[in-house]
Structure 1
Amino acid sequence: MTIFTFDSVGLTIGDSAILRSVSFGMAAGEIVTIVGPNGSGKSTLLRLLIGSIAPSGGRITRQAGLRIGYVPQKLALDPTLPMTVDRLLSLRRRVRRARMAQALEEAGVPGLEQRQISALSGGQLQRVLLARALLGEPDLLVLDEATQGLDQPGVAAFYRQIERVRQEHGCGVLMVSHDLHVVMSASDRVICLNGHICCQGTPQHVVSAPEYRALFGEGTGGALALYSHHHDHPHDHKDDQKEHAQ
């Protein structure tokens, strides 16, 4: 089941075309990663999806009642502001303590309810933000550079947690990331973006595509080495491959 589609979506601001004729969709339960150089429109694409900005052209269609959980790059809070984890998780809605504890468990950081936000490590904070996104029982998790600032083991651990969340909840996951060494093989499908979709398909297909190597260099051939993603459910990418061939 397709949970959303972009159909020839474009965004122009002033004289600058940020995105041009972007077309793709996502299936329920799929993990899709968007990669691309700085300024390629990755975060803008996510903002279009969640509805914080409107496209200049084309159409975005979302499954009726689609629930989206968003994990940002970082939390814009004054570090001197006294705030506990349970207070942060309750800012937008009242949350039962049992449900809060469950969300933190699912995000891999149980028992942090009374910890001050300022006392959390970078990895703990990102998992708390993941727990916050899970409170809404999302059909789709959207992660915008959610591992920025984490070290390599922290990045790999975070993506393994995302895979566990997908398995337990059955939600789709759409990620923007620069962590090519990990995220390529943590995904079912990769989309290479540079104002438009340069190439897309399985990680193995994209990493060998000339368009991808032109953007990231020949050294990306080892991008699949650190963490291999395995799952026991099929995804049909025939339409994506057909679109790429066109």
Structure 2
Amino acid sequence: MSISQEFLIGAAGLCVDFDERRVLDRIDLTLGEREIVTLIGPNGAGKTTLVRTLLGLQRPSAGRLSRRPGLRLGYMPQRVTVDAVMPMNVARFLRLGARHRAAVARTAARLGVEGLLGSPIQGLSGGEMQRVLLARALLRDPQLLVLDEPAQGVDVGLQAAFYRLIRQIRDEQGCGVLMVSHDLHLVMAATDRVICLNGHVCCTGRPEAVSRDPAYRQLFGGTDTRGLAVYAHDHDHAHDVLPAMGEEGAIDKGGSDA
């Protein structure tokens, strides 16, 4: 597989080994401008390892990686651990990734966390922390936004709104989005393309097609896909998302860095 320069990021034949155990096997992946791609798969499928490899944090054992020269990345990790004895409030945490205080204030207001700016980062709830991490990723004005389990810790009632917010961010900023999730049901309406991963690419395509694929059903069990339509609807109108949220180069054969 060749990787065209029209893509923001891509992988061809990507493999990752840990202690002689193959974790990722011959992964082909591309992500274009304004495209939302979601990686799904069971625990241990290699989703976070693939993201780390695409970001350059994990060296592949084989294969090729390509990123657009000068690509600006915004990364929202699955979790961040902050030392309990370190005095840091949300405003200071956000300023670590921003050049201007005004940008912090604008982004915090956009995500409904302006009221948390003076709060200690260690005292945030799970949902509050996820919104702060998303704000920090957006402060880099990314061309590619990478989100590892972005709705983790968000109340179930607000998860659909959170994913709609991500789509709205894509529409407004024109960035590409790579998301990791373990549940296709929740991201159905927010993604353009799904890659089902279990050490290798099991299936890929539009979420409706993936939900009917035998490989997907084998991984996640069952044949009843009616639940996948819960959040699916046309996107020819605007969502009042923010108030709802406020309510609550090539690389060939090389070594492996375990």
1:244 is matched with: none
Deviation track 1:18-55 (CA, whole Å, cap 9, x = no partner) reads 00110010111111110111111100000001100111
Does residue 15 of structure 2 align to residue 15 of structure 1? no
Instruction: Indicate the percent of aligned positions where both proteins have the same amino acid.
Output: 50
The answer as to whether partners of 1:6 and 1:60 remain within 8 angstroms in 2 is yes
1:57-206 residue pairs with structure 2 within 5 A?
57-79=62-84, 81-92=86-97, 95-206=99-210
1:237 is matched with: none
**Could you tell me the TM-score, scaled by structure 1's length?**
0.87
- In the TM superposition, residue 220 of structure 1 has moved relative to its aligned partner by 5.6
The answer as to whether partners of 1:187 and 1:229 remain within 8 angstroms in 2 is no
Deviation track 1:60-95 (CA, whole Å, cap 9, x = no partner) reads 1001111111101111113454321111012255x3
| Structure 2 Cα separation of the partners of residues 165 and 185 of structure 1 | 14
- In the TM superposition, residue 113 of structure 1 has moved relative to its aligned partner by 2.1
Q: Which amino acid aligns with 2:96?
A: L
Q: Which runs of 5+ in 1 are unaligned?
A: 233-246
The answer as to whether partners of 2:37 and 2:194 remain within 8 angstroms in 1 is yes
The answer as to whether partners of 2:15 and 2:23 remain within 8 angstroms in 1 is yes
Moved more, 145-154 or 25-34: 145-154
Does residue 240 of structure 2 align to residue 218 of structure 1? no
* Ranges of 4+ aligned residues in structure 1 off by more than 6 Å: none
Higher relative contact order (CA 8 A, sep 6+): 2
- In the TM superposition, residue 109 of structure 1 has moved relative to its aligned partner by 2.5
| Structure 2 Cα separation of the partners of residues 64 and 80 of structure 1 | 39
The answer as to whether partners of 1:181 and 1:222 remain within 8 angstroms in 2 is no
| Structure 1 Cα separation of the partners of residues 158 and 51 of structure 2 | 23
RMSD: 1.8
Q: Which runs of 5+ in 2 are unaligned?
A: 1-5, 237-258
Q: Which amino acid aligns with 1:14?
A: D
